[in-house]
């Protein structure tokens, strides 16, 4: 991920990015993944299409911008990863870094499970007719059936661990520079094709035109969690990325590029999936009531059928590109786990890789069990009493824990820390070392006042709504 030019500002010497574009590309490879392609479309479908889309975009350019600036500046200023960065301002702040670092431990196992689903689809398009994959029973049959879903998950995990263990990560990222544009081109082609399906234009309207009656506290909480997940915020990762960033480059410009790129791909993924889902299922309402983690896997194979004899090739190419996007993101997640364990144990990188692999295999297996052996367990419903999540699986629970509980808390603590303890001016002068800071006012107002108040209000509203105390 980083090239080996050493910076002089920090000791021990830290690798740094080869210029601004090195940082942008590496951050984009980490940011663009299943969050954009798999998670964003199903949330947008579930939460009323346009209403979700607009909320998401507003959050990205305000809250997301401020938080990403704060995290990267904090990293560049201290030259450290999350735990060290917070600790460098006083021992008692270490806890924020620890909480942030816990998030990738929750996300990586279920990320690997979905990575396994993608791997299975990629392989299926080589050996099975496209019609069989488009069959409504295909997805359910696969995830509920024990052996095979584990096999694909382990294959995906093996790819991730192999890349990290053999140190070929930079090679993969170089390949990714070609594959990412290919993914975009392919997604545009599929989107255009999907829009020709009968009924797809109603789906386009559902996706793009906000229906303000669909607004709810839950929608905003979901959009906020998605923003953290997709931009890799509130989990310490952007702090680490910032620490590799040269003191000479323009941080703000890079942050805006990453946001634009990441959000553009998410919007495109929605365009590819939501109109087609509405075309297949009849109405936005039906899509909203059934949309979940399986949306991409159910809808796209149906779209691919329309390509006739080329369906298998299109299906394979598409899932191969998604596989690479998921792989690079999961590599950066796994790398994060390894460096946290390495720093904490000091027993060397090999040992850390082993510990993280064992952790990943065990926890991912437990998450997968939630779809078969443990299907009857419903933690969201029985532990949290969240009725809307009745029939949810362990994956939903892990996802909820990271995106709805942990990340908002970490984001809130980061805002309080930057806004009120070290003060925004500390990071502003860090940013200004290398460039102007055109979003300075927005940054201060967001970090100090709006973002923390927003997180508290929206979480309280959400909890009260869920508990039935208010009705939003
Ligand atoms: N942002 C990635 C996605 O949207 O798929 C997920 C992710 C990747 C989070 C890498 C964190 C990370 F380090």
**Token reading at 327:** 């792989």
The three-class DSSP label of residue 75 is: helix
CB of 370 closer than 6 A to ligand 1? no
Ligand 1 centroid, distance to 31 Cα (angstroms): 5
Closest to 239 measured CA to CA, from 105, 453, 110, 96: 96
Burial of 280 (0-12, 13-18, 19+ CB in 10 A): buried
Write out the DSSP string of 253-294. Answer: HHHHHHHHHHHHHHHHHHHHHHHHHHHHHSSHHHHHHH-STT
Place of tokens 């979901």: 222
Structure tokens of 383? 């532990």
217-240 residue pLDDT tens: 999 999 999 999 999 999 999 999
Q: Is the CB of 115 under 6 A from ligand 1?
A: no
Is residue 4 helix, strand or coil? strand
Answer whether 110 contacts ligand 1 (Cβ < 6 A): no
CA distance 198 to 203: 10
d(CA 143, CA 135) in angstroms, rounded, equals: 14
Unique residue bearing structure tokens 């506290």: 217
| DSSP code string of 128-195 | S-HHHHHSHHHHHHHHHSHHHHHHHHHHHHHHHHHHHHTT-HHHHHHHHHHHHHHHHHHHHHHHHHHH
Q: How many whole angstroms from its chain centre is CA 2? A: 21
Cβ neighbours around 115 below 10 Å, total: 29
Nearest atom (ligand 1) to Cα of 262: 4
Ligand 1 atom nearest the C-alpha of 231 is 1
Ligand 1 in reach of 36 Cβ (< 6 A): yes
What pairs with residue 3 in β-bridges?
A: 16
| pLDDT over 90, % of the chain | 74
Interval between CA 115 and ligand 1 midpoint (Å): 12
The confidence score (pLDDT) of residue 27 equals 81
CA distance 243 to 206: 41
Structure tokens at 134: 């488009």
Closest among 439, 180, 203 to 326, alpha carbons compared: 180
> Using a 6 Å cutoff on CB, does residue 30 contact ligand 1?
yes
Note down pLDDT in tens along the chain; length 472 residues. 444 433 333 334 566 666 677 777 778 888 899 999 999 999 999 999 999 999 999 999 999 999 999 999 999 999 999 999 999 999 999 999 999 999 999 999 999 999 999 999 999 999 999 999 999 899 988 888 778 999 999 999 999 999 999 987 777 777 878 888 899 999 999 999 999 999 999 999 999 999 999 999 999 999 999 999 999 999 999 999 899 888 988 999 999 999 999 999 999 999 999 999 999 999 999 999 989 899 999 999 999 999 999 999 999 999 999 999 999 999 999 999 998 999 899 999 999 999 999 999 999 999 999 887 777 676 666 666 665 555 568 888 899 899 999 999 999 999 999 999 999 999 999 999 999 999 999 999 999 999 999 999 998 988 888 777 877 6
CB 227 within 8 A of CB 48: no
Helices (H) and strands (E) in the chain, counts: 25, 2
Tell me what pLDDT residue 12 has: 45
Tell the residue nearest (CA) to atom 11 of ligand 1: 232
pLDDT at 8: 37
281 lines ligand 1 (CB under 6 A): no
Residues 6+ apart with CB under 8 A from 252: 69, 431, 435, 436, 437, 438, 439
Residue whose C-alpha is closest to residue 2's, from 75, 109, 83: 75
Largest CA distance in the chain: 63
Report which secondary-structure segment, H or E, holds 448.
none
309 alpha carbon – ligand 1 mean position (Å): 35
Q: What is the position in ligand 1's atom list of the atom closest to the CA of 31?
A: 1
Specify the residue with its C-alpha closest to ligand 1, atom 8. 329
**Ligand 1 centroid, distance to 166 Cα (angstroms):** 21
> Does ligand 1 come within 6 angstroms of the Cβ of 263?
no
């Amino acid at each position: 991920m980083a090239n080996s030019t050493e910076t002089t500002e920090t000791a021990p010497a830290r690798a740094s990015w080869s210029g601004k574009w090195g940082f942008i590309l590496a951050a984009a490879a980490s940011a663009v993944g299943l969050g954009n392609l798999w998670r964003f479309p199903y949330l947008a479908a579930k939460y009323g299409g346009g209403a979700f889309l607009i909320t998401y975009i507003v959050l990205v350019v305000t809250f997301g911008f401020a938080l990403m600036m704060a995290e990267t500046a904090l990293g560049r200023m201290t030259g450290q990863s999350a735990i060290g960065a917070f600790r460098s301002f006083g021992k008692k702040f270490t806890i924020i870094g620890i909480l942030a670092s816990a998030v990738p431990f929750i996300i990586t196992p279920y990320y690997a499970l979905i990575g396994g689903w993608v791997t299975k689809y990629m392989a299926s398009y080589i050996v099975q007719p496209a019609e069989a994959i488009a069959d409504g029973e295909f997805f359910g049959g696969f995830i509920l059936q024990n052996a095979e879903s584990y096999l694909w998950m382990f294959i995906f995990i093996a790819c991730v661990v192999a890349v990290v263990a053999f140190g070929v990560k930079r090679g993969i990222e170089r390949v990714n520079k070609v594959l990412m544009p290919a993914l975009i081109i392919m997604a545009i082609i599929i989107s255009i094709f999907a829009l020709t399906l009968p009924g797809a234009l109603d789906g386009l309207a559902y996706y793009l035109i906000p229906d303000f009656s669909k607004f709810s506290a839950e929608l905003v909480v979901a959009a906020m969690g998605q923003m953290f997940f997709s931009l890799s915020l509130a989990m310490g990762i952007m702090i680490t990325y910032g620490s590799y960033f040269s003191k000479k480059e323009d941080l703000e410009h890079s942050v805006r590029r990453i946001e634009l790129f990441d959000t553009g791909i998410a919007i495109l993924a929605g365009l590819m999936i939501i109109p087609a889902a509405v075309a297949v299922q009849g109405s936005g309402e039906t899509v909203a009531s059934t949309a979940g983690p399986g949306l991409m896997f159910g809808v796209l194979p149906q779209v691919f059928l329309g390509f006739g004899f080329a369906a298998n090739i299109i299906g394979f190419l598409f899932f191969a590109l998604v596989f690479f996007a998921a792989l690079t993101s999961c590599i950066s997640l796994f790398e994060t786990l390894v460096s946290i364990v390495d720093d904490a144990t000091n027993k060397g990188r090999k040992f850390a890789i082993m510990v993280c692999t064992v952790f990943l295999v065990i926890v991912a297996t437990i998450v997968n069990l939630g779809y078969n052996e443990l299907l009857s367990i419903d933690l969201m419903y029985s532990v949290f009493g969240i009725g809307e999540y009745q029939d949810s699986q362990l994956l939903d629970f892990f996802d909820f824990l990271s995106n709805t509980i942990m990340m908002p808390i970490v984001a809130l603590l980061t805002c309080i820390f930057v806004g009120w303890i070290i003060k925004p001016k500390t990071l502003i002068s860090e940013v200004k070392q290398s460039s102007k800071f055109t979003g300075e006012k927005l940054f201060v107002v967001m970090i100090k006042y709006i973002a923390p108040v927003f997180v508290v209000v929206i979480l309280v509203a959400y909890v009260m709504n869920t508990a039935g105390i208010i009705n939003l």
